Amino acid sequence: MSTTAVVTGLGVVSPNGLGIKDFWAATKSGKSGIGRITRFDPSPYPARLAGEIPGFVAEDHLPNRLLPQTDRMTQLALVAADWALADAGVTPAELPEFDMGVVTASHSGGFEFGQGELKKLWSLGSQHVSAYQSFAWFYAVNSGQISIRNGMKGPSGVVVSDQAGGLDAIAQARRQIRKGTALIVSGGVEAPVCPWGWVAQLAGNRLSTSDEPARAYLPFDAEACGHVPGEGGAILVLEAAEAARRRGAKVYGEIAGYGATIDPRPGSGGEPGLRRALETALADAGVRPGEVDVVFADAAAIPELDRAEADAINAVFGPGGVPVTAPKTMTGRLYSGAAPLDLASAFLAMADGLIPPTVNTEPSPEYGLDLVTAQPRPAEIRTALVLARGQGGFNSALVVRAAD
Amino acid sequence: MATKEFTLDDLKRILREGAGADESVDLDGDILDTDFEELGYESLALLETGGRIEREFGITLDDDVLTDARTPRALIAAVNALLGAGAAA
């Protein structure tokens, strides 16, 4: 029988809360972190809202030596990893270094750092580009810096598949635990709120151009008009269940099942791959649809994508057959950080017996979903399903189960 | 032309600007003969430091200057040798 991978630590950096306590208090009460961009002047751009993390001062949390060599996304990721390890009660220096690995997801890379260095390149010349640009922008840099800071030399890597990557990384972490590594730090953290990151996202044609924070990101609403991006995400500590039990660790729950598919070629008329990903994850977990207590939706807020997601959920659970929520309406879409943050929400929801709400959306009846809106819904949650789709046809689904 | 001199204070300032400083190290202490690695600077930090010295002082450092100069004293001497050669020429 395969080794069971359990989650023992959570570290959250979210637009609506730093740390699990603040984040969960905000999330269950429907407090949004979306507002007009402050990190640069957004007025010349067609999209001007984002979920920014206020009050994060890297100097307060990280050694000075790390500051000149890290993008904001890496600073956030390092702090989230510190918090996750502390939450898990793990002191990495006390564990064998090859028994710990790091697998994160990335979508944007260190764009703000990279933008600054490119600006120096073109305005001052190549002599002025930081030597740290060699890795500070790179997709794998969060994994690398977490690995170095914590002395983790086991299997490590990065997964890049847009929003789906947040689940793909957790699945890869589970694979490494099954192959024998005792502990993997996983998840995803992004910070693409800078002009370069912004124009890259605008090119994808999926951003909301609304200026009203409460009307801009409305998945499954008839007024859906694209998404608001955000920064942040979550880092999780995954451990082999046996290792966690031996050290008497608190366990949030188990990574029970995973499925990933690629959409058929555009224009081919084939069914999108999300339903198969979802069914594969349930089968992998050995869970019947009726046992799923809540679905955390991908929530694209693009009408045809909302339709595809609702169709997949309804095909498996029946119309209105399962509570669905999208707390990312409070943070914006965090790309590779979104699904790890949803996983954190799922575990916190299990502990609290509350499904966090989808804010602002007035669900369109045509989607036939039981969307949890406005207020958190009391519920006994044993099994949760998280969905994540990436631009380019990536579909991933992950089932998590409460600890016994 | 006045000969520019590269001092320990210049080095400390450039190290702090380009690569930061390890909290457990007192850069203002007696560091002239302390190995850069003990001061918390790995090869990339020295590469960044070398680039900044080149920019500010208008010299070109060979790659092996940065790998051979293991201590602040050695690096300061190497830079000043180049500055002196430039002034002499």
The pLDDT value given to residue B86 = 63
The pLDDT value given to residue A102 = 98
A122-149 pLDDT, tens digit per residue, is 999 999 999 999 999 999 999 999 999 9
Question: CATH for A5-246, among 3.80.10.10, 3.40.47.10, 2.30.110.10, 3.40.50.1000?
Answer: 3.40.47.10
Considering only the C-alpha atoms of chain B, give the largest distance between any 2 of them, rounded to a whole number of Å. Answer: 42
Closest CA to A194 of A69, A72, A282, A26: A72
Chain B residues in contact with A78 by the CB 8 A cut-off are none
Q: How confident is the model at residue B4 (pLDDT cuts 50, 70, 90)?
A: confident
Closest CA to A274 of A233, A316, A241: A316
A175-210 pLDDT, tens digit per residue, is 999 999 999 999 999 999 999 999 999 999 999 999
The pLDDT value given to residue A230 = 98
Total domain count, chain B: 1
For an interface test with A, which of B24, B47, B48 has the most A Cβ atoms less than 10 Å from its Cβ? B48
Region A374-403 average pLDDT: 97
How much of chain B, in percent, has pLDDT values that exceed 90? 83
Chain A residues in contact with B51 by the CB 8 A cut-off are 127, 131
What is the Cβ-side half-sphere exposure of residue B42, based on CA atoms within 13 angstroms?
A: 7
> Looking at CA atoms only, how far is residue A123 from chain B in angstroms?
14
The pLDDT value given to residue B2 = 53
**What is the residue range of B55's domain?**
8-19+32-88
B22-70 pLDDT, tens digit per residue, is 999 999 999 999 999 999 999 999 999 999 999 999 999 998 998 899 9
Sorted by where each begins, the domain ranges of chain A are 5-246, 257-402
A81-125 pLDDT, tens digit per residue, is 999 999 999 999 999 999 999 999 999 999 999 999 999 999 999
Tell whether ipTM is more than 0.85.
Answer: yes
Q: In sequence order, what are the beta bridge partners of A200?
A: none
Fold agreement (A5-246, A257-402): yes
**Cβ-defined contact of A68 to B51 (cutoff 8 Å):** no
The pLDDT value given to residue A1 = 56
Q: In sequence order, what are the beta bridge partners of A399?
A: A257, A385
Closest CA to A322 of A368, A275, A257: A368
Question: The tokens of A385 are what?
Answer: 């399903």
How much of chain A, in percent, has pLDDT values that exceed 70? 100
Question: CA angle, A98 as apex, A96 and A102 as ends, to 5°?
Answer: 115
Supply φ then ψ for residue A391, to 5 degrees. Answer: -60, 135
Q: What is the C-alpha to C-alpha distance for residues A92 and A90, in angstroms, rounded to an integer?
A: 6
Which residue among B18, B23, B54 sits closest to A68, beta carbon to beta carbon? Answer: B18
Neighbours of B83 (CB within 10 A): 17
How much of chain A, in percent, has pLDDT values that exceed 90? 98
Residues within 8 A of B (CB atoms), A 106-135 only: 127-128, 130-132, 134
Q: Tokens 């309804």 label which residue?
A: A314
Closest CA to B15 of B56, B55, B46: B46
Q: How many residues does chain B have?
A: 89
Angle separating helix axes A111-123 and A195-202, nearest 10 degrees: 110
The pLDDT value given to residue A349 = 98
Q: In sequence order, what are the beta bridge partners of A101?
A: A184
**Cβ-defined contact of B48 to A134 (cutoff 8 Å):** no
The pLDDT value given to residue B3 = 64
CATH code (residue B55): 1.10.1200.10
**Cβ-defined contact of B48 to A130 (cutoff 8 Å):** yes
One DSSP character per residue, A205-247 reads T-B---S-TTTS--TTBTT---B-BB-EEEEEEEEEHHHHHHT
The pLDDT value given to residue B88 = 54
For an interface test with B, which of A60, A62, A65 has the most B Cβ atoms less than 10 Å from its Cβ? A65
Is B12 a domain residue?
Answer: yes
Is B1 a domain residue?
Answer: no
Q: How confident is the model at residue B85 (pLDDT cuts 50, 70, 90)?
A: confident
Asked whether the beta carbons of A70 and A148 are under 8 A apart, the reply is no
Which residue among A68, A127, A134 sits closest to B19, beta carbon to beta carbon? Answer: A68
Q: Which helix (H) or strand (E) holds A188?
A: strand A183-190
Report the mean per-residue pLDDT for chain A.
Answer: 97
Q: What is the C-alpha to C-alpha distance for residues A219 and A239, in angstroms, rounded to an integer?
A: 34
A282, pLDDT greater than 60 = yes
Helix (H, G, I), strand (E, B) or coil at A135: helix
Residue in B with minimal Cα distance to A135: B44
> Looking at CA atoms only, how far is residue B20 from chain A in angstroms?
4
The pLDDT value given to residue A2 = 79
Residue A333 gets which letter from DSSP? B
3-state DSSP helix/strand/coil % of chain B, to nearest 5: 55, 0, 45
Question: The tokens of A117 are what?
Answer: 């260095």
Chain B residues in contact with A131 by the CB 8 A cut-off are 44-45, 47-48, 51
> Looking at CA atoms only, how far is residue A357 from chain B in angstroms?
43
> Looking at CA atoms only, how far is residue B36 from chain A in angstroms?
13
Neighbours of B27 (CB within 10 A): 17
The dotted CATH code for A257-402 is 3.40.47.10
Q: What is the C-alpha to C-alpha distance for residues A287 and A280, in angstroms, rounded to an integer?
A: 10
Region A11-29 average pLDDT: 98
Check CB contact of A68 with chain B, cutoff 8 Å: yes
Is B56 a domain residue?
Answer: yes
| Beta-strand pair A5-14/A232-240 | antiparallel
Asked whether the beta carbons of A308 and A298 are under 8 A apart, the reply is no
The pLDDT value given to residue A320 = 96
B87, pLDDT greater than 70 = no
| Beta-strand pair A253-262/A17-18 | unpaired
Query: Where in chain B does DSSP place strands (E)?
Result: none
Closest CA to B66 of B54, B55, B58: B54
The pLDDT value given to residue A10 = 98
Is B53 a domain residue?
Answer: yes
Chain B residues in contact with A68 by the CB 8 A cut-off are 17-20, 48
